[in-house]
Amino acid sequence: MSVSARIMRLRRFLQYQLWVRPALASLFSIFMAGIAFWAGQISDSAVGLKIDEDSLITLFTIFASSMLTVATFTVSAIVTAASTAASTTTPRAARHVVSDGKAQLVPSAFIAAFIYSFIAIIALQVVTYGPTGRFVLFAGLVILVVFVLVSFINWIDHAMKLGRHSTTIEKLRSAAVQSITPESAGTFGAAVADSGRDTGGAGVVTKNWGYVSTIDVEKLNDAATEANCHIRISVRPGDYLGPGMCVATVLPVEALTDELTTCIVDAVDCDTERHVDIDIRFNIVNLTETADRALSPGVNDPGTAIYILNILAETIAYWSKAVRSPDALEVKYARVSMPALTAREIVNDGFTPIARDGAGAVEVGVRLHKVLNMLGALPHTALRVEVARMAQVAAELSDAALVSPAHKALVARARVFDQARQVSAP
């Protein structure tokens, strides 16, 4: 496995683990208690600040009990915010709340202060620290108090926003934009596979279940170079695999060995869930699901759907720019090819549910066609074709769902492309 693939897996694992930061903060607490004991052993001289053992134990006891209460409350607030985000937008949005940096930092500060106080109380009762050791213990407490106060002040403002509908949508938008890079919009440095299936190749099937989370193109290219062959990957991140499904084709046939088969299967990593860092379609689907939920009869919130349509326009325009960039077209690993992310997939993921479930809302229909007009004005031929196709489908759905001729006329007028804004694609 290449270094970049290992780093990506590690980052994904740590991102959603609430225990990581509290564990690191706890290690700092233990380290400070050890430093205090060491300082007390090497120096018995009095310090300027007189701190007796009983007062220090009392102070630590008060601090430990209060920090444990606040930490419990903070974790409960994070869980509630994640539940709210999942119920108001899309269930997949809960992970964005859990992975929030400030949301993880605040309980870390409280838990670190609790553990430090708890360890200090035990240490003061078991061993003799001396004046210098007690002073170092107190200095460590002062550092943690400052850390807790700064974290708590930031938490007050952050807690008011965490889990709110608008905040969650902004997190979904940010995740979608950040996932669009020249590598993820293109083929991760591999060559673009032909639309037709290669002939004469040997297929490699997987025994795994799950969504494709990572494709280690660098590892595959090294293996193909060593075996003097070409590997055509047939999946992209976000595709679902099951046992017996073909994940790659090796050319020529005689180059495929058991060792190469194992290498290919291991390079196409699967997981039980999709990831937001490189799976562009998954992020677009999350935005679309939020709009689709807002259009349900139980919610009846077309304003949110219109807001999401604007975000989708921005996101897809950003993808259009990235996929046509020189970096996306650059082939770094010539012995590996994989399918490109097509405009049809992007447009279908972004607008099909909204066009279907928002067909009866004239305001949603008008905004949908205006957004499609914006995207149709981009210098991207394939995107313009798919946008025109989606506009036709949306018009048919609206015409069947709307009752008022006046509403139908509004949607029809919005559907007409502004010819003055159309530019020729290169």
User: Helix H segments across 127-267?
Assistant: 130-161, 165-179, 182-185, 217-227, 258-267
CB within 8 A of 226, min separation 6: which ones? none
Q: For position 417, what pLDDT does the model report? A: 54
pLDDT, tens digit, for every residue of 218-262? Answer: 999 999 999 999 999 999 999 999 888 999 999 988 888 889 999
Q: What are the angstrom distances between the C-alpha of 410 and each of 190, 368, 370?
A: 46, 12, 11
Under 8 Å between Cβ of 401 and 357: no
CA angle 186-190-193, nearest 5°? 85
Q: Is 247 or 417 the better-scoring residue by pLDDT?
A: 247
Secondary structure (3-state) at 188: coil
Query: Which class is 189-271 in CATH?
Result: alpha beta
Domain ranges of the chain: 3-163, 189-271, 278-421
pLDDT at 424: 41
The pLDDT, as a whole number, for residue 419 is 38
pLDDT at 199: 58
Provide the pLDDT confidence category of residue 143 given band limits of 50, 70 and 90.
confident
Token digits for 372?
């499609």
pTM of the model: 0.81
Give the closest residue to 370 by CA, choosing from 329, 398, 411, 335.
411
**pLDDT confidence tier of residue 285, bands split at 50, 70 and 90:** very high
Lowest mean pLDDT among 30-44, 58-72, 114-128: 30-44
423: pLDDT strictly greater than 50 = no
For the chain, give the mean pLDDT: 84
Place of tokens 């709307």: 402
18 token code pair: 């609430």
